[in-house]
Structure formats: structure tokens, C-alpha cells
Amino acid sequence: MNKEALALLAKINKTHPGAVCFASEMRVAKRFTSGSLSLDIALGGGWPGNQWVEVIGRESHGKTFIVYKTLAANQKKDPNFTCLWIAAEHYDTDQAEALGVDNDRVIVVPTQAMEFAYQTMLDFATSRSVDMIVLDSYPALIPDEESEKDMDEATMALGARLTGKFFRKSGAATKRSMTDPDDRPLLGIVINQYRDAIGKFSPHGTPTTTPGGNAKNYAFYTRVEVRRDEWIQEARPGKGKVNVGQVIKVKTIKNKSAAPQQIATIDAYFRSAPYLNFVRGDFDTTKEIMIMGILFDVIKRKGAYYEIDNGEYDDKGKPVLRWHSKENTLAAIREDLDLQEFLYEKVLAASLHADERSISEEDLEAAENSGTKKVSRRPKPEEADGLHTQAA
């Protein structure tokens, strides 16, 4: 690099310490786990640090559930992990505790005042006193000007303008040192909801939009959509089937640090399921490890057997971690916590080097159905005759 550029760099850093550095010197921002291997992989290694992310979805589809589990997973990894929770909606201490959250490390600010909520978020982000900031949820916030007006007085785009201003100011609040690894990183999550887009048309159903204006869509580093795919039921003697959980599908709508349009599938239990061996608040992490392991070839299928290469082999030269059928493999992984941890790290590492792999719903379905024999029904004679007639 020429001397003039180096001299200018030194001059700027003298008056504004740490303002300029070489790209090769920049540290990689920390990523925060979501508590789900499938979602961590879809995000590119976890939630991005020092950025704001948006979690969107319909009512009762698992948005807050995902955020609670993210908080709980990071608190479990770090005994000092602290969160600021702006409770524009109710913060449920019982639900949070059931999902593994340590409420002693959560600062709750119950408010619907938009200006106060945003300023509090900026103050805590600037102070570096917390590791995570959650706004639950944006549509429940009320601008002061709107709050002071009567119900019959209309207001237009107040929230959108304030939200745009918040994100313009938040850049400085969430900025961390480009080179100092000890500068405390931050994860910011805003929960939002869908609304029907009035006056618009879509061939795929009712068009939707999210409150807050369009500026926020550019400001968010990552945006994910949460939707319920199906219910998880447990058969109980004498009581029939009971809904104990739901399969949540999370799609990355926008991701500036990894491939967008990735899919994660999570089995989440909102009720204890004693016959399935799950308690309220559980993710079926072992099932995720199994599916992701197959998807990224960490768990390899050889005929009816599934193998995991950990460097140990039997007398025939085959891996010692080898089981007949997918069901036996899943059961063995469930019983061995060390094996779960080994597979989690190995699958996550493999996913980060699999640039050609796009995680679609078809990919996940193929991995989940691995080893399942599908029998196609033969057509009846009259159906076969009809097919021959059409062909002729």
C-alpha cells in the first residue's frame, strides 16, 4: 500500500482512535446460538452479533418461543449473559422459566411508549451492560403523539418515522471495536407480526406486510419468518390424542451474512409429553442432530445401517458407531450426551463449509425420510386400461 494512504490512515486514527483499520485486521463478530442446530445452520452459524434481527410470524406460531429458547441457550453457555426485555406485551415469567430462562438475568421494562422504549434500547446498547436486547413486540408500541390524541383522531406513519430514526441512531449504539475481541458483543431482536396488505393482490393468497414501514427492512441484518407446520400429538391411554407441541418452520427471508431463503425445522413442545419423554419447553434437539447429520454426510447411510466416523473402527474396519436402522441410530444418540455434543459441533462445522448446500424443505424431507421405504401402489386394471388409452 502506498505511503500516502498509510499516512492518512495514521492521521485519522490519531484524531479518531480505532476509526480505520485494514480489513484483514477486523475481527469476526460473535454469533449467538438459537438453541436449535437446524436454525443455527440456516442462519449461517447462529444469530449475527452487533446487529438487529427481526422475527416475524402469525399469532401463536412460535415467535416468542424461539426468542425465549435463544435467551435460555445463551444463558446456559455464559453464566453472565444478561438480557434487556422491552415488554410492550406481557413478559410471562412462568413460560420463560419453563423454557429454561434464568429470570434473575433478565431486565424487564414493561412499556408501550415507543419513544421511551427506543431510547431505553439505545442507552443499554451504548452502555455495553447487556448481551441481548429484545423488543416484544413492535406493533404494541404507541408513539406519544398518537397516545395523546382521541380515538377519532387519525395519525399516519408516526411509528414508521420513529422506527427509521431509531435504526439510524442505533448504528453508533451497537457499534463495537473492529479489532478488540474483548469489546462486549450484542444481539438485538425485534419481534414483529404480519398484517394483511389492503388493496393488494397476490396469486398465492392474501398478501401480507409488516408494521413499521419499509425503512426497517433495509436496517435489519437478518429477517426470519416463523410459522407452524403441524401439531405434535401424543397418544394417552383413555384420553385419545393430545396436542403437546408443534413443528415450527423458520425461513430466513433476509440474511446479509449467509445464504437467504434457508429453512429450519424445529419440534417444539409447549406441554409435557411423558409418553414421548419430553417436558414443557423442550426442543427435540436429537432429532435435529440426526436430520442435519444425514443432510451434511456426518451420519452416513450404508444400506440399512447408519455410521458415524469418529476415528475408531472394529476388527472389520468399520466404524464402531454403527447401528441398524434409523430408529436405532436415533435412540443411541438420545442416550449419549457426549455423542450429541460431538455431532453438534461436527455438523455445524460441516455446514459452514458446504457452500453448495441449500437447505430447502425438499432437502429436509429427504433427510427425515432417509431409510423409509416408500411403496407405490400399482394401478387397478381399469386404471391401467385408461392410462393405455390416453397414451394411445
pLDDT in tens, 200-210: 777 777 788 89
pLDDT of residue 377: 45
The average pLDDT across 297-313 equals: 91
Q: 317: Cβ–Cβ under 8 A, 6 or more apart, which residues?
A: none
Residue 182 confidence class, pLDDT cut points 50, 70, 90:
confident
The average pLDDT across 19-29 equals: 82
pLDDT of residue 106: 98
pLDDT of residue 197: 82
The average pLDDT across 5-12 equals: 89
The average pLDDT across 110-134 equals: 96
Average pLDDT, the chain: 89
User: Under a CB-based contact definition with an 8 Å cutoff, are residues 170 and 124 in contact?
Assistant: no
Residue 245 confidence class, pLDDT cut points 50, 70, 90:
very high
Question: 243 vs 1, which has greater pLDDT?
Answer: 243
The average pLDDT across 245-268 equals: 94
Residue 356 confidence class, pLDDT cut points 50, 70, 90:
low
The average pLDDT across 152-158 equals: 82
pLDDT in tens, 264-289: 999 999 999 999 999 999 999 999 99
Residue 224 confidence class, pLDDT cut points 50, 70, 90:
very high
The average pLDDT across 327-332 equals: 94
Residue 339 pLDDT more than 90? yes
Residue 391 pLDDT more than 50? no
pLDDT of residue 375: 41
The average pLDDT across 229-238 equals: 94
Question: 361 vs 299, which has greater pLDDT?
Answer: 299
pLDDT of residue 156: 79
pLDDT of residue 186: 94
pLDDT of residue 381: 55
Q: Which three cell numbers stand for residue 385?
A: 386400461
pLDDT in tens, 36-59: 999 999 999 999 999 999 999 999
Query: Residue 96 burial by CB count (10 A; 0-12/13-18/19+): exposed, middle or buried?
Result: buried
pLDDT in tens, 135-146: 999 999 999 988
pLDDT in tens, 159-179: 999 999 999 999 888 888 777
Residue 376 pLDDT more than 90? no
Question: 370 vs 98, which has greater pLDDT?
Answer: 98
Task: Please state the three-class secondary structure of the chain as a single string.
Answer: CCHHHHHHHHHHHHHCCCCCCCHHHCCCCCEECCCCHHHHHHHCCCEECCEEEEEEECCCCCHHHHHHHHHHHHHHHCCCCCEEEEECCCCCHHHHHHCCCCHHHEEEECCCEHHHHHHHHHHHHHHCCCCEEEEECHHHCECHHHHHCCCCCCCCCHHHHHHHHHHHHHHHHHCCCCCCCCCCCCEEEEEEECEECCCCCCCCCCCEECCCCCHHHHHCCEEEEEEEEEEEEEEECCCEEEEEEEEEEEEEEEECCCCCCCEEEEEEECCCECCCCECCCCECHHHHHHHHHHHCCCEEEECCEEEEEEEEECCCCCEEEEEECHHHHHHHHHHCHHHHHHHHHHHHHHHHCCCCCCCCHHHHHHHHCCCCCCCCCCCCHHHHHHHHHHHC
Share of the chain above pLDDT 90, in %: 64
Residue 18 pLDDT more than 50? yes
Question: 379 vs 298, which has greater pLDDT?
Answer: 298
pLDDT of residue 117: 97
pLDDT of residue 329: 94
